[in-house]
């Protein structure tokens, strides 16, 4: 193995082995430390599922009628159509009477 090709091949294989073994050791140590720290910080908790009943929302007397809401949304969409912006880039979440 005193030839330059033999020495080069030996160094190449030895380098690859050292790099991959080092990477394996680093991955295993990080995984091990992650599991140890996760056990200390987050002890297992029992999963509790709570079932809540939702009451239907009733209309308030002060609420704006549906036809007025439709007119407001139509006016806003017409305004945005005139400015040539993207369609549906606004959402009307609530309309309140003051």
H-helix segments, 1-98:
4-41, 66-82
Dihedral, 63, 98, 68, 76 alpha carbons, nearest 10: -130
CB 1 within 8 A of CB 10: yes
Domain ranges, ordered by start, for the chain: 1-43, 59-98
Please answer whether residues 81 and 74 qualify as being in contact, where contact means their C-beta atoms are separated by less than 8 angstroms: no
What pLDDT shows up at residue 11?
A: 94
Q: What is the pLDDT of residues 12-61, one digit of tens each?
A: 999 999 999 999 999 999 999 988 887 766 566 666 777 777 777 665 56
pLDDT at 85: 61
Contact indicator for 90, 80 with CB cutoff of 8 Å: yes
């Amino acid at each position: 193995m005193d030839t330059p090709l033999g020495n080069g091949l030996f160094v190449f294989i030895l380098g690859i082995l050292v790099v991959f073994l080092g990477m394996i050791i680093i991955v295993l140590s990080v995984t091990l430390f992650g599991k140890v720290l996760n056990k200390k910080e987050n002890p297992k908790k029992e999963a509790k599922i709570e079932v809540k009943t939702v009451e239907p929302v009733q209309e308030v007397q002060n609420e704006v009628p549906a036809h007025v809401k439709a007119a407001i949304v139509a006016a806003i969409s017409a305004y945005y159509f005139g400015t040539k912006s993207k369609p549906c880039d606004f959402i009307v979440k609530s309309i309140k009477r003051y």
